[in-house]
Amino acid sequence: MTYWEGLLLGIVQGFTEFLPISSSGHLVVAQAAVGLSAPGVVVEVILHVATLLAVVIVYRARLWSVGGGCLHGDRSAWRFVGLLTVATIPAAVAGLVWSDVFERAFESLLVVGIDFLITGAVLWSTRPVIGRADRAEPSVVAAGGIGIAQALAIFPGISRSGTTVAAALWWRVEPERAAEFSFLLAIPAIVGAAILQLPALASGSVSVDLGPLLGSFAAALLSGVLAIRLLVALLRRKAFHRFAPYCWAIGSVTIAWALLP
């Protein structure tokens, strides 16, 4: 991996991980379009750590508050952790039970294209509800619904941040709080993805240039922080749906490409 490849990979990973446009869907399209291969295990783990750190940096005050509250027996802090736990369960179960289904989806451009269209529809559906959102956090039932949305986002082309934020908005969670819950929910998801890659990392010899690797890490970290702040700013302006036309465009092109003889 060259320096430029590392920087490009980091920037793409950071932005698509947190903007509601599906990082996995873009990876499938890029692989088919230009023969871009998935990064090696070491690079994937490093990028996961970078995006995890981006969430921690942006929401460090909230994490500190929740962590301190749990240590001091604060019920609201423990309730918030419980809500995150409830929302994490569906994706964990789905990933274990239907892993073969998800893996096959990564092999179909048609499925990815359709999923992009679904993401666009989900984002557009938030227009009438975002102005009525008035709750500081989801209920237990809403957390379960957000978790189901996250589970569906395992399919390439369906955005994790897009579906989870949209689901929170549907349950009338305030826009900034919806983003906060979605991105803090990403922490166990990212940690889980990194852990799943550790056996492959330990099973073989690894040879990666340190310079490009550090450049990729820095690019993913900085672009991830920017992407989170951009999404929150758009939510404040009730403009979350503006990503929908892009998803429809790339979905339509992907479907047309998949159907070409």
Rounded CA gap, 79 and 145, in Å? 17
Rounded CA gap, 117 and 112, in Å? 9
Distances (CA, A) of 209 to 47, 170, 214: 15, 46, 9
Model pLDDT, residue 41 = 64
Q: What is the pTM of this model?
A: 0.91
For residue 39, pLDDT beyond 70? no
User: What tokens does 257 get?
Assistant: 């490409």
Model pLDDT, residue 43 = 75
State mean pLDDT over 94-121. Answer: 92
State mean pLDDT over 92-108. Answer: 89
Model pLDDT, residue 141 = 96
Rounded CA gap, 112 and 258, in Å? 9
Chain-wide mean pLDDT for the chain? 89
Model pLDDT, residue 143 = 97
Model pLDDT, residue 202 = 60
Model pLDDT, residue 252 = 97
pLDDT in tens, 7-38: 888 888 889 889 999 988 988 887 777 665 55
| Residue 205 φ/ψ, nearest 5 degrees | -75, 145
Model pLDDT, residue 170 = 96
State mean pLDDT over 128-153. Answer: 94
State mean pLDDT over 158-172. Answer: 96
Rounded CA gap, 134 and 78, in Å? 22
Model pLDDT, residue 190 = 83
What percent of the chain is predicted at pLDDT more than 90?
66
Model pLDDT, residue 71 = 94
Model pLDDT, residue 198 = 67
Model pLDDT, residue 56 = 95
For residue 196, pLDDT beyond 80? no
* Residue labelled with tokens 């789905």: 94
Model pLDDT, residue 65 = 95
Break the chain into its structural domains and give their ranges.
3-259
For residue 73, pLDDT beyond 60? yes
**Residue 213 pLDDT class (50, 70, 90 cuts):** confident
State mean pLDDT over 158-174. Answer: 96
More confident residue, 4 or 226: 226
Give bridge partners of residue 135 from the DSSP assignment: 173
Model pLDDT, residue 191 = 84
* Residue labelled with tokens 């957390």: 143
